[in-house]
Structure 1
């Protein structure tokens, strides 16, 4: 396992995943990050997912339960507990592939230019380093997209977003433990990162969360 990503995934144990939907999607999203799951995140997922889809950083597989039965779903994560939880939730018969993989590493050749859409929900803020250090992650995800494919997702912004008392407390705890690495993350930094790899980028900030969509990928550049 790449040491870069160890801290970000260690919180996702079988026990914590049982509490994830309640704590993150109901409590934290509504009261800390001010971005209600039902109002903002679910529609963002449903509106951008396409027929052949790869979900990266799968959590519990929550958003995938909102996909049409006609969609082909693949999963990619470094945490085996998350993959197992998502498989169980979505239904193993609906999952085409379940891939144990570090997002900082290039995707396997059989995943190159295969997907119409790739989602990253609450992944970027869990990855180590500044926003610019996560360029490899975006580069590798773009390599899995078809020419007309779409990368979309959501990430919690840093200190400059103006968190409330609850949000500041969670930010302090999560960043200290290495679960988050997002103190300096901004919508501007995210836009700069995405425009390195895509011609068309849209970012909407809801509360303290940036909802992003990137399309029309550029000729592949390897992250330095």
Structure 2
């Protein structure tokens, strides 16, 4: 299993390089290294803070764009015992690992590029998550914003999009954080040069009438809501 999506040769080379990093071997150490060490001590936003977003905002019909290892879906409290979960990722290995971890929910999986229209029904989902994804996408907020547009299409009236992303501008960083951020840029793992809270907020407001963005360390936590519904 290569983990490379069909048509990957047409991708931006930076995207292709970044997503190919996630082999099953790398995913096996992702939780202790990235979530417990980097998120907690380098980006200064511990995973429990992100799980809190899922606890509050994940709905009965939930779509996860870029589920990684399935860590957050595995730990969050859904509003029902049998949520309908759909996983979308460009990398087949991420889909395999996360679906296996979440097998008790029998998740549906789709290999797709979130910057393109998604192969999913419009207006179907109560919630969509984009957690620790946007800082890996090249092109600046105008390009990244296409993911928000496609996510909004999938949400029911009153549905919510939420998630997190590591920022490179407009957030406090110490010397170690700056050094390791630069290393992620050198390796091509992060494509967040110039990403800031204001740019994120501006893009979200193009597609959602209700937008909230807060920062914890150098991580932005965002939540939005579409028009309509009971909320």
Matched with 1:47 is 56
Q: Distance in 2 between matches of 1:48 and 1:163?
A: 28
Matched with 2:132 is 122
The reply to whether residue 101 of structure 1 matches residue 112 of structure 2 is yes
The CA deviation at 1:67 is: 3.8
Residues 95-104 or 25-34, more deviating = 95-104
The 3 A distance-change label for structure 1 pair 159 and 186 is closer
Q: Distance in 1 between matches of 2:53 and 2:107?
A: 23
- Identify which of 3, 11, 36 aligns with 1:3: 11
Q: Distance in 2 between matches of 1:104 and 1:60?
A: 21
Aligned alpha-carbon RMSD (Å): 1.5
The 3 A distance-change label for structure 1 pair 111 and 161 is same
**Where does structure 1 differ by over 6 angstroms across 4 or more consecutive aligned residues?**
none
The CA deviation at 1:217 is: 4.9
Aligned residues between the structures:
215
What per-residue deviation string (whole Å, max 9, x for no partner) do you get for residues 5-52 of structure 1? 2123122111110110011110001111111112x1111121110110
Contact residue 57 and residue 121 of structure 1 kept, 8 A: yes
What per-residue deviation string (whole Å, max 9, x for no partner) do you get for residues 186-215 of structure 1? 111100000000000011111111000011
The 3 A distance-change label for structure 1 pair 111 and 167 is farther
Gapped regions of structure 1 (runs ≥ 5) = 219-224
Q: Distance in 1 between matches of 2:20 and 2:102?
A: 23
Contact residue 155 and residue 210 of structure 1 kept, 8 A: yes
The 3 A distance-change label for structure 1 pair 35 and 75 is same
Residues 2-11 or 79-88, more deviating = 2-11
Structure 2 length as normaliser, TM-score?
A: 0.88
Structure 1 length as normaliser, TM-score?
A: 0.91
Tell me the SS of whatever aligns to 2:190: coil
Contact residue 126 and residue 156 of structure 2 kept, 8 A: yes
The CA deviation at 1:132 is: 1.9
Matched with 1:33 is 43
Matched with 2:86 is 74
Q: Distance in 2 between matches of 1:217 and 1:21?
A: 35
- Identify which of 156, 171, 175 aligns with 1:146: 156
